[in-house]
Amino acid sequence: MVTKRKQQKKVVKTPILALKKAAVKKLAAAKTSVALDQWERDYLGRKGAIREVFQSLKELPEAKRKAVAQEANAVRTELVALFEKAQKKHGVGIAEKRALKTHTIDVTLPGVSTPVGHIHLVSRMIERVTDIFSSMGFDIVEGPDIESPYYNFDALNVPADHPSRDLWDTFWMQEAGEIGRAGRIANQNDSRRLLRTHTSPGQVRYMETHKPPFRMVVPGRTYRFENADRTHGFEFHQIEGMMVGPNISAANFKGILTVFFNTLFCDIQSAQGSKTNVTSEQIKVRLRPSFFPFTEPSFEVFMWFQGRWLEVMGAGMVHPEVYKHAGYSAGEIAKIQGFAFGGGIERLIMIKHQIPDMRLLYVGDLRVIRQFS
Ligand code: PHE
């Protein structure tokens, strides 16, 4: 009530013609865009004097209301015209129009959202796997995708007539020759290059510059001249690992892998635990005899996962020939032993996310990719 009475008083105190007179006088004095803006706010704006007059109309007796409204309207029209004239005179309107043309922002338009991508499943798995090994003290190193036959085969004790060297199993290219850092080369005439068929060349490359004890992993892309199917690609990824010291045993290997798999799959295990009755402690590792030229004995590694044994990698105790190729002396070799392993990254992804076909990881189909953001 108090405010209403105040407003009424104002109208009485400031009759419209007096208001107009004051407005015209002030407008004549406003000569800059700032001053004009201020004037517009004071008189024509949302909280300006004219608006106040209109708002106070309802306080007036009905008989008076119409006349006052008409008068106020007329004054308003006049003031608007005068204001526009003043704007033109001071060049304000034109400048403003120009500014509007160049920086128009329609704040009512819906925003443009920036799509946020995410790391590809393969990169994410490599990060996850290397994180776990790193937490167990393993170094993370990388090797070249384009290898010499020396590092890919000879240094790993793979004989010259091994089928994996066949033209039909490996991508070969022509380039200049290379000798291992330890000065050993099995076939001086083989100057070809190939796309590495496994990450195992990383074993010899690492040992050329590191002495035991050590533990390391080599993640990376590998290639085989192979027909692609559900579980094979001509391009895929592996994680190689190695741990060598005075008394590193196959039991250490089993222990480390058990920790690794349980860490890697613990979230699926706990999510599905109730369904399959598997708890995170229950991924078990089994080793079966196998053969690789660079390990002796060699193992096929299986893990017990959701009621099945799944083959997940190849492994074994590092063959003394491999130490020799890395440049270790007979005396050094006599004092060390260790394990090496290599497994497919895509296989781990397929198990983890229940993806039935590894080719889905590479076709770039957003319907697939977006499921894993
Ligand atoms: N390099 C082997 C493969 O690609 C796996 C392996 C690595 C086996 C290390 C033994 C030791 O199949």
Which tens digits make up the pLDDT trace of 196-225? 999 999 999 999 999 999 999 999 999 998
Atom of ligand 1 nearest to the CA of 313: 5
Encoding tokens for residue 182?
Answer: 């330890």
Beta-bridged to residue 298, according to DSSP, are 290, 316
Q: Is residue 5 part of a domain?
A: no
Q: Which atom of ligand 1 is nearest to the CA of 315?
A: 10
Distance CA 7, CA 367 (A): 64
Q: Is there a domain that residue 109 lies in?
A: no
Does one domain contain both 242 and 195? Answer: yes
Q: Do both 276 and 347 map to the same domain?
A: yes
20 alpha carbon, distance to own chain's centre: 65
Is residue 227, in this structure, part of any structural domain at all? yes
More confident residue, 243 or 305: 243
Mapping DSSP to helix (H, G, I), strand (E, B) and coil, where does residue 366 land? Answer: helix
**Whether residue 357 is found in the same domain as residue 322:** yes
Cβ atoms 199, 223 nearer than 8 A: no
Mean pLDDT of the chain: 86
The type of residue at 20 is K
Res. 7: pLDDT tops 80: no
Residue 175 binned pLDDT confidence (cut-offs 50, 70, 90): low
| Cβ atoms within 10 Å, residue 271 | 9
Torsion of the alpha carbons at 352, 358, 364 and 368, rounded to the nearest 10: -40
Task: Report the separation in Å between the CA atom of 363 and the middle of ligand 1, taken as the mean of its atom positions.
Answer: 27
Instruction: Name the nearest CA neighbour of 151 among 224, 206, 204, 218.
Output: 204
Check: CB of residue 57 under 8 Å from CB of residue 65: yes
Q: How far is the CA of 308 from the centre of ligand 1 (A)?
A: 22
d(CA 39, CA 26): 7
Please say which residue of 67, 100, 133 terminates a domain: 100
- Residue 343 C-alpha to ligand 1 middle, in angstroms? 7
Residue 161 gets the label, from left (phi > 0), alpha (psi -120 to 50) or beta, of alpha
Would you give the DSSP letter of residue 162?
-
Based on the fold, state whether residues 178 and 141 are members of the same structural domain. yes
Same domain, residue pair 125 and 192:
yes
Cα 241 to ligand 1 centroid, rounded to whole Å: 9
Q: How many domains does the chain have?
A: 2
Distance from Cα 361 to the centre of ligand 1, integer Å = 23
Verify that 256 and 343 share a domain, yes or no. Answer: yes
Distance 92 CA to ligand 1 centre (A): 78
Are residue 224 and residue 315 in the same domain, yes or no?
yes
Fill in the DSSP letter of residue 110.
Answer: P
- List all residues whose CB is within 6 A of at least one atom of ligand 1: 198, 200, 240, 292, 295, 314-316, 340-342
Quick one: average pLDDT of 342-351? Answer: 96
**306 and 208, same domain (yes or no):** yes
Q: Is residue 3 part of a domain?
A: no
Same-domain pairing of 205 and 343:
yes
| Domain endpoint, select from 34, 68, 100 | 100
Q: Closest Cα to atom 7, ligand 1: which residue? A: 342
Please state the φ and ψ torsions of residue 243, each to the nearest 5 degrees.
-145, 120
When pLDDT is averaged across residues 43-72 and rounded to a whole number, the result is 88
Interacting residues of 254 by C-beta distance below 8 A, sequence separation 6+: 285, 287
| Residue 312: φ, ψ to 5° | -120, -20
Q: Is position 318 within any domain? A: yes
Query: Ligand 1 centre from 314 Cα, in Å?
Result: 5
Q: What is the pTM of this model?
A: 0.68
CA-wise closest residue to 55 among 3, 113, 126: 3
CA atoms of 56 and 5, how far apart (whole Å): 10
Round to whole Å and give the CA distance between 201 and 197.
9
Q: Is residue 106 part of a domain?
A: no
Distance CA 76, CA 158 (A): 97
270 and 357 fall within a common domain: yes
Residue 8 falls within a domain, yes or no?
Answer: no
- C-beta separation of 298 from 314 below 8 A: yes
Question: In a 3-state reduction of DSSP, which class is residue 192?
Answer: strand
Q: Which residue has the higher pLDDT, 9 or 111?
A: 111
For the CA of 342, the nearest atom of ligand 1 = 7
CA distance 50 to 5: 18
49 and 125 in a common domain: no
Q: Is residue 20 part of a domain?
A: yes
Q: Centre a 10 Å sphere on the Cβ of residue 141 and count the other Cβ atoms it contains.
A: 17
Q: Which atom of ligand 1 is nearest to the CA of 238?
A: 4
Same structural domain for residues 195 and 279?
yes
Which of 164, 200, 237 should be mutated for ligand 1, with most atoms under 8 A from CB?
Answer: 200
- Summarize pLDDT for 108-150 with one digit per residue, the tens: 888 888 888 889 999 999 999 999 999 999 999 999 999 989 9
**356: domain CATH number?**
3.30.930.10
pLDDT at 9: 47
Mutate to test the pocket of ligand 1, among 296, 313, 322 (most ligand atoms within 8 A of CB): 313
Our mutation pick for probing the ligand 1 site, out of 206, 294, 312, counting the most ligand atoms within 8 A of Cβ, is 294
Q: What's the average model confidence in pLDDT over 268-275?
A: 56
d(CA 134, ligand 1 centre) in Å: 20
Range of the domain at 62: 15-100
